Structure 1
Amino acid sequence: MHSAPPLTVPSPAPYRPLRDRPAALWRQFVCAAVATLAVGAASAQEGPQLNLPRVELTAGMHRIDAQLAQTREQRQIGLMHRKEMQQHEGMLFVFEQPAVQCFWMKNTLLPLTAAFVQDDGTIVNLADMKPQTLDSHCSAKPVRYVLEMNQGWFERKGIRAGARLAGGPFGRR
């Protein structure tokens, strides 16, 4: 009969408080915690954002009452959970710098059209977006602004790529 070799249990590493661990590990932990909180806050939003600042824009002779989504959290929530929106209302997403901007419609109940807009108010391209889809709709080139309106609003007003918006960040024409 053979006897089993003695069971060896590795000794545990000495306890080192988080503050004594390398700075890179500490930064990684803090970044992960902040990202988790940000995602949790955005997903915890149960109702629509209705109290954002507003700006009056114009597209030719047509007036637009746009809510401003200026912070990362405001842009992440956007028009999610809205069940209705007046025809002259929309949301203007404001980014810190021009980039190719891509939007989707998770938790968004309304069919929307996104206008991707340059700094001078020129519409680069328009994209119709279906409610509650994860399809990506992107700007044709880098932009700082995206204006979402009820789907069909731009078409009914005869507004196409190349048209210019005025008011708010785009100044007066």
Structure 2
Amino acid sequence: MRVTAALLVACLVVLSGCLGGLGSGELLQSGKQSTTPTTTDTESNVSAAFVTDNRTAVTLEVANSPDERARGLMFRQSMPQNHGMVFVFEEAQSQSFWMKNTKMPLDIIFIAPNGTVINVEHADPQPNASDSELRSYRSDAPAKYVVEMKQGFANRTGIKPGTKFVFDGDRPSVEN
């Protein structure tokens, strides 16, 4: 019985390490600050694409609850190519993000409800900045979705205002 319990504990430790990386950029408007790294549920990934002259497929972690949106990609050291996070909001509205506790530079892509890219911001970490010194990155119009990718993604793939963004399957919805 002791061997079975020890084996079960060892399996749980290994499985918990496989569930994902640590969270990034934090939403200004949420009013919440999360400084505790948390694992990401890989089952909440969605497939999507940016459509320019070509179709660029991406895999996105979904941040659709207040806590997930506040945590974002905080503390994350790296991400695979064409992998990022989509922030999902109930209503399209002006969105504002900052890079609190974000370790890697990001492209922040603001997207209208109809899937059109509104604007792209190239955000850099500010490791020693106080909250009042952190730069904010804003949508130029009401956005329902915001996608964060490794900085350079938008330039490499030609994503700019007017580019179409589509989900492969159902659009993720907001959780309360």
TM-score by length of 1: 0.70
Deviation at 1:39, TM superposition (A): 4.6
Q: Deviations over 1:7-53 (max 9, x none)?
A: xxxxxxxxxxxxxxxxxxxxxxxxxxxxxxx957x33x234x42150
Cα distance in 2 for partners of 1:39, 1:169 equals 25
**Which residue in the other structure is 1:157 paired with?**
157
Q: Please say if 1:85 is aligned against 2:79.
A: yes
Counting matched residue pairs gives: 130
Deviation at 1:96, TM superposition (A): 1.0
Q: Which runs of 5 or more residues in structure 2 are unaligned?
A: 1-30
Matched to 1:158, the amino acid is G
Matched to 1:59, the amino acid is F
Structure with the larger RCO, 1 or 2 (CA within 8 Å, 6+ apart) = 2
Whether the 8 Å CA contact 2:32–2:70 is kept in 1: the answer is no
- Measured on the aligned residues, the alpha-carbon RMSD in Å equals 1.8
Cα distance in 2 for partners of 1:120, 1:144 equals 9
Cα distance in 2 for partners of 1:169, 1:120 equals 11
Cα distance in 2 for partners of 1:137, 1:59 equals 21
Identity in percent: 34
Task: Point out the structure with max Rg over C-alpha.
Answer: 1
2:41 pairs, out of 48, 51, 56, with: 51
Task: Name the CA shift for 1:39/1:165 in 2 (closer, same or farther; >3 Å).
Answer: closer
Q: Which runs of 5 or more residues in structure 1 are unaligned?
A: 1-37
Matched to 1:154, the amino acid is A
Q: State the secondary structure of the residue aligned to 1:169.
A: coil
**Which residue in the other structure is 1:31 paired with?**
none
Task: Name the CA shift for 1:39/1:159 in 2 (closer, same or farther; >3 Å).
Answer: closer
Matched to 1:149, the amino acid is M
Q: Please say if 1:144 is aligned against 2:144.
A: yes
TM-score by length of 2: 0.69
**Which residue in the other structure is 1:169 paired with?**
171
Cα distance in 2 for partners of 1:142, 1:100 equals 4
Cα distance in 1 for partners of 2:158, 2:32 equals 38
For residues 1-173 of structure 1, the aligned pairs below 5 Å read 39=32, 42-43=34-35, 45-47=36-38, 49-51=39-41, 53-60=44-51, 61-132=55-126, 134-167=134-167, 168-169=170-171
Whether the 8 Å CA contact 2:45–2:61 is kept in 1: the answer is yes
Q: Deviations over 1:48-69 (max 9, x none)?
A: x421501100112111000000
Q: State the secondary structure of the residue aligned to 1:107.
A: coil
Q: Which consecutive aligned stretches of 4+ in structure 1 deviate over 4 angstroms post-superposition? A: none
